[in-house]
């Protein structure tokens, strides 16, 4: 398998994991169960910002929390810049 293909699969999985984590945490919040720490959710957003952002919007989770409202989009921009650099250099 090509290394680029493997990296793409890993990247997609990281975004899926981030998306799922936001969904699971929202469910836990609704049922008053143990929650995922915000630092963990932000770390997952750093690794998979597109999944985290989708999770925030679809599950309506952490959309009012200040760190999430600016850090998750910032992580998305950083990922897009890195992607552009990798493609065009």
> pLDDT 10s digit of each residue in the chain, 89 long?
688 899 999 999 999 999 999 999 999 999 988 999 999 999 999 999 999 999 999 999 999 999 999 999 999 999 999 999 988 98
- Count Cβ atoms below 10 Å from residue 78 Cβ, excluding itself: 12
pTM (2 d.p.): 0.92
- Tell me how many degrees the CA angle 46-65-48 measures, rounded to the nearest 5: 15
């Amino acid at each position: 398998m090509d290394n680029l293909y493997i990296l793409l699969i890993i990247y997609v999985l990281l975004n899926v994991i981030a998306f799922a984590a936001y969904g699971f945490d929202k469910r836990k919040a609704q049922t008053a169960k143990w929650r995922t720490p915000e630092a963990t959710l932000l770390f997952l957003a750093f690794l998979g910002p597109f999944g985290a952002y989708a999770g925030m919007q679809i599950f309506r989770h952490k959309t009012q929390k200040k760190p999430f409202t600016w850090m998750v989009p910032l992580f998305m921009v950083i990922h897009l810049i890195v992607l552009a650099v990798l493609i065009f250099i």
